[in-house]
């Protein structure tokens, strides 16, 4: 008996999505990738660690650069999953002219639909930021939902799908508590994240693999796409 529908989405189209997508496919997990059309070059840019310049602030630490999936590998990485607009250049709705923001959101949607040859109705707000006017504009433009970075104990209670909250971030320390609570109450569990947050640390990736495997093997759970939550 299915007690919980589980959805997930991942932002920004970074190179670490390649490793992420392999795990998702292995466990037959559905997911939505939120992509910025203007940030994908022709060729992929691998991850790398950058050392700080000697004597330069802040304190000397190495910086992880997440790279980017290029057009040369986008079909390979994302072709089996849903894709959603994340604006053309990751614009911030709080500081961008509303009409320009709308154009950016629609430009990315059109690119993704042309590139993948499938419908792209979803949207994820860059920085989780939105305004009343941009919500109205994206609704009028036909977007089915707009994911924020806000958390809720009841995804189904969202009054406006263009201000869709999720259950939690994938690294939330209460992840499993929220998962089990969703089984007992709302029947919907929705998480999100950036694959670069796991960098190239194998313990993080191993833990994530185990997390996806657990949900996939849970007879009370069913993977769904984000858009299925608002249909």
Adjacent-strand bridge partners of 164: 147
Provide the pLDDT for residue 231: 81
- Quick one: which H or E segment has residue 205? helix 202-216
Residue 199 main-chain phi, psi, to 5 deg = 45, -130
Gap between the terminal Cα atoms of the chain:
22
Question: How many C-alpha atoms does 189 have within 13 Å on its Cβ side?
Answer: 24
CATH number, position 83: 3.20.20.370
Question: pLDDT tens for residues 147-188?
Answer: 999 999 999 999 999 999 999 999 999 999 999 999 999 999
What tens digit of pLDDT does each residue of 90-131 get?
A: 999 999 999 999 999 999 999 999 999 999 999 999 999 999
pLDDT of residue 55 exceeding 70 = no
Q: Which helix (H) or strand (E) holds 84?
A: strand 82-85
Confidence of residue 60 (pLDDT cuts 50, 70, 90): low
Give the distance, in angstroms, between the CA of residue 227 and the centroid of all CA atoms in the same chain: 12
Between CA 105 and CA 34 the distance in angstroms is: 11
Q: Which domain holds residue 95?
A: 4-229
Structurally, the chain folds into a number of domains equal to: 1
| The model scores a pTM over 0.85 | yes
**Predicted confidence band at 198 (pLDDT cuts at 50, 70, 90)?**
very high
């Amino acid at each position: 008996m299915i007690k919980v529908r589980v959805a997930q989405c991942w932002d920004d189209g970074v190179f670490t999505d390649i490793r992420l997508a392999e795990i998702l496919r292995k466990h037959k997990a559905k997911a939505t990738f939120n992509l910025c059309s203007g940030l994908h070059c022709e060729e992929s840019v691998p991850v790398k660690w950058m050392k700080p310049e000697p004597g330069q602030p802040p304190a000397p630490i190495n910086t992880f650069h997440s790279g980017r999936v290029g057009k040369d590998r986008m079909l390979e990485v994302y072709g089996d999953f849903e894709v959603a607009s994340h604006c053309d250049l990751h614009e911030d709705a709080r500081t961008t002219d509303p009409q320009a923001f709308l154009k950016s959101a629609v430009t990315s949607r059109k690119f993704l639909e042309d590139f993948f040859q499938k419908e792209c109705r979803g949207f994820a707000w860059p920085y989780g930021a939105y305004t009343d006017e941009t919500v109205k504009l994206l609704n009028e433009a036909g977007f089915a939902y707009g994911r924020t970075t806000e958390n809720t104990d009841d995804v189904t209670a969202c009054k406006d799908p263009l201000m869709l909250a999720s259950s939690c971030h994938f690294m939330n320390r209460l992840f499993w508590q929220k998962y089990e609570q969703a089984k007992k109450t709302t029947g919907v569990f929705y998480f999100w994240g950036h694959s670069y947050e796991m960098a190239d640390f194998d313990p993080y990736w191993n833990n994530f693999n185990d997390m996806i495997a657990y949900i996939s093997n849970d007879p009370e759970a069913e993977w769904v796409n984000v858009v299925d939550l608002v249909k």
